[in-house]
Amino acid sequence: MQTGDFSLSRIYMDANATTPLLPEVLDTMRPYFLESFGNASSIHQVGQQARAAVEQAREHVANLIHCRPAEIVFTSGGTESDNLALFGLLEPGDQLITTRIEHHAVLHSGEALSKLGVHVTWLGCDARGIISGDALREALEFEISPGVRPRRRLVSIMMANNETGVIQPIAQLAFIAHQAGALFHTDAVQAGGKIPIDIPTLGVDLLTLAGHKMHAPLGTGILFARRGLQLKPLFHGGSHERRRRPGTENLPGIVGLGRAAQLAKDWLASAGNDSGPEKLAALRDRLEQGVLAAVPQTGVNGFGPHGEFVRRVPNTANIYFDHVEGEALVIALDLKGICVSGGSACSSGAVEPSHVLMAMGHTADRARASLRFSLSKLNTDADVDKLLAVLPDAVARLRQLSPKAQQQTLRREADALA
């Protein structure tokens, strides 16, 4: 079998890793690399133009999630925002309650905080990937010694999972946290631009967004921090971003993020089957149903054991292919010009099977046999057609060569002889 032409045009189905910059976003950014290049802290006119552009962008982002512009801190991306939220609030002796399905930016921050003397409580999820309110309530009962609660408690639970797209009941969980007097942070990196985010409804105190997951440039992100919340900055320097994030503002990046937020808001508002989230969800559902119909021994991760309905972002499909090495299938598809991911990009190359799928109770074999297809509004029906044309053969070839399948064949042959 001849592997496909390596120079063929690519079909990109890995939007949860990163999304392409939209041309409109680049157009908006372009002048801020060249003529309006200022330092937003400068007194002169060039600086004033930069300042105006940064504040305009802040308003666009605030409009996307319905908060005050002053509550937006521009950062270098999701990882920095998560770190700022957690390290900016917690001191030794405080409590962090988070989950086993978080992105590494929260997971590893939690581990680091634990070493610094923060009491960290890890919540599991059910088979669908949902964190239960009861588990959170119980974690909030934690006492350092009888009758002694940690001085400050922070709950950090992601809004949508990067691997499965499963959406957590954030408003309900934040309510529980607040009832117990704890603060609530959500990593909404995988929700941003995919589902409406309404801060007043959610009631969260802190929220992370990353630009590059919503067609803004890499290296941009925000932390929403409710007014009045005192955040220790991660870095030391100037008084930028209301003393929460020193460093000269990444002007073109921030402008791009603002424009992308505007476009995301418009897209989320566009209703009907022909545009917006419903169209994307329909495309994703077609992909899922198409794969399940065309390839035997497959299923979707993120449904309960009995196929219960679970809320997911409209772009993500996490599908298992039994007896297939997911890593090899990713390569095989790439050589056919289709970009997908096994698990999350951050754990590619790592030994461990996806911590998210494992937390959902799947076996390591199932986790390793799982692939993530994540679409964006730029994907088309033709992309899904191409995938469905290529995937069955690729899976069949892998299964034929898989050691497990070979063992089964040998066993069948041995049984036939006996």
Partner 1 sequence: MAAPTANPQHTPTPVSGTIAVAMSGGVDSSAVAAILKAEGHQIVGLTLQLWNQRRLRPESDGEPEAVTGRCCSLDDVYDARRVAEQVGIPYYVVNQQERFEADVIRPFVSEYLAGRTPIPCTLCNNHLKFDQLLLTAQSIGADRIATGHYARNEFSPERNRWILMRPADHAKDQTYFLFGLTQHQLSRTLFPLGHMTKPEVRIRAAEHGLALAAKPDSQEICFIPDGDYKRFISAYLAEQGEQLPDTAGDMVAPTGEILGHHDGIHNFTVGQRKGLGVSTANPLYVLQVDAANHRIVAGSEDELLSHTLRARNLNWISIPALTAPMRVQVKIRHRHQPAWATITATAPDEVTAEFDEPQRAITPGQAAVFYHNDEVVGGGWIL
Residues in contact with partner 1 by CB under 8 A are: 1-4, 6, 325, 327-328, 331-332, 334-336, 349-351, 394, 397-398, 401-403
Taking each helix axis from N to C terminus, what angle separates 276-294 and 251-269, rounded to the nearest 10 degrees?
80
**Closer residue to partner 1, CB minimum distance, 60 or 366:** 366
As measured in angstroms, the least distance from the Cβ of 343 to partner 1 is 12
What is the DSSP code (8-state) at residue 212?
Answer: G
Q: How far is residue 386's CA from residue 136's CA, in Å, rounded to a whole number?
A: 43
| 3-state DSSP assignment of residue 343 | coil
| 3-state DSSP assignment of residue 299 | strand
Catalytic residue among 67, 125, 339, 346: 346
Among candidate residues 92, 415, 56, the one with its CA nearest the CA of residue 258: 56
Active site residue 346: yes
As measured in angstroms, the least distance from the Cβ of 344 to partner 1 is 15
Asked if residues 13 and 339 have their Cβ atoms less than 8 Å apart, the reply is: yes
**Closer residue to partner 1, CB minimum distance, 307 or 403:** 403
As measured in angstroms, the least distance from the Cβ of 325 to partner 1 is 7
**Closer residue to partner 1, CB minimum distance, 271 or 401:** 401
As measured in angstroms, the least distance from the Cβ of 282 to partner 1 is 31
As measured in angstroms, the least distance from the Cβ of 208 to partner 1 is 28
Contacts 24+ apart (CB under 8 A), 282-287: 283/375, 283/379, 283/380, 283/381, 283/384, 284/314, 284/315, 284/316, 284/317, 284/373, 284/375, 286/381, 286/384, 287/317, 287/373, 287/375, 287/384, 287/387, 287/388
**Closer residue to partner 1, CB minimum distance, 269 or 410:** 410
**Closer residue to partner 1, CB minimum distance, 1 or 148:** 1
Asked if residues 219 and 253 have their Cβ atoms less than 8 Å apart, the reply is: yes
Which residues does the annotation mark as catalytic? 346
